Amino acid sequence: MTILPRGQRYLRDSHYWVSALLGVALIPLLKRLNLPVDFDWLKLGSAYWLVLAAQSIFVATLLSLLAFSPELPFHPLLRPRREGPRVLVVLVYFLALCWTLTWVKALIVTVDTVAILEFFRRLKPENRRQGARAVVLPALYLFVGFLLVFAYNDIILSVRFFGATDAAFNAMDKWLFHGISVSSLCHWAVRNLPVSFFHVLEFIYFGMFSQIGAALILNGLYDGSRRALQFVGTILMAYYLALTLFYLWPSQGPFYLCPAHFSLFPDQLQSYALQKWSIANSQALWRHVQVRHISTDYYIAFPCMHIAQPLVVMWFLRRWKRILAVLAAYDMLLLVAIVLLEWHYAVDIIAGVLVAGLAVAIVDGGELWYCIRSRPAAVWMAENGPSPQ
């Protein structure tokens, strides 16, 4: 294990201090701005601990199969020739779930069930407890961090106009792409492509979050709670940087600035309702209309965290090349979804890349510096072979 200088260790752990400071300041700020000191625990709990957890276990299991890592504690590797009865039981279980759930949900629940059973079957009790701690503790920290991010979204929009820099970012996009904007690309797609295409884009866009949970699980089970906490700390540091930028340059996204968006965009899409909700809630917070509670409130357009988070995931899962290749392909499709669903400006995406790099440099700077230093040597070895002894 690399021994870091004291200053670098302080920087690596700075996300804990930032989280603590934001937590201490939270209630006084909420009271001062007449915001509710209350969270929608039912919605937050179901969205995070049920839906996201189930999706994360599912994605982590698929990625572990992809990486051909049967040593993973919950690896659901069924061998049909040797374990035919078990395969049959799983199939019956899946078909039974299909009676009450959609086939997608039934598949997720089935894979999760097999994965959890394998976790208990393969490990001794002490190893189970160690593995569970390595996942649950970072998951709790990530949940607390999300609560802070949601709350500070409301705080910022209570003191800063939510669309202050939309016009500037839209102008930057047009300058970068010689008059082409995200809105014009979205309108072209709406006119020429079926609604089913946009449903696929939404599946990709909202499916991004399961990458975060999957990376947390894989890091925790393979490398322990310290590495998983470091991963979570990097994600949260990226969010804290995003909150700072959001305070300085608040914006909603191209859907807010586009006058024809809600007349052209398909109203069957979930994004349509969420974008309307975002504008309405932002206006309510800016006008200091009393809100009932803090929920999954997220309004940040600049920077684009939908690209920052996958980049952090790829950094922490880079040791598995097959997983890295699949995530890279998925994230290329994610870029298309971000633009054609009119969620973000191009400059938001660029800023998201920079925020991801800065968060990795702060929390995992020692590893990043090691990779940068070792890269020239690896290239030299590939081109010239090993040096003579």
Q: Of 79-83, 99-103, 118-122, 169-173, which has the strongest mean pLDDT? A: 169-173
The answer to whether 112 touches 58, Cβ cutoff 8 Å, is yes
pLDDT in tens, 318-352: 988 889 999 999 999 999 999 999 999 999 999 99
pTM of the model: 0.89
In the chain, the percentage of residues whose pLDDT exceeds 90 is: 57
* Region of poorest pLDDT, from 2-16, 225-239, 324-338: 2-16
Note the pLDDT of residue 353.
96
Local structure of 38: helix, strand or coil: coil
Q: Which helix (H) or strand (E) holds 135?
A: helix 125-159
* Number of C-beta neighbours around residue 104 at 10 A: 10
Could you give the residue ranges of the DSSP H alpha helices within the chain? 6-12, 14-32, 41-45, 53-66, 84-100, 103-122, 125-159, 166-176, 182-192, 195-206, 209-223, 225-248, 254-257, 261-264, 270-286, 305-316, 321-340, 346-363, 365-384
Better-scored residue on pLDDT, 273 or 369: 273
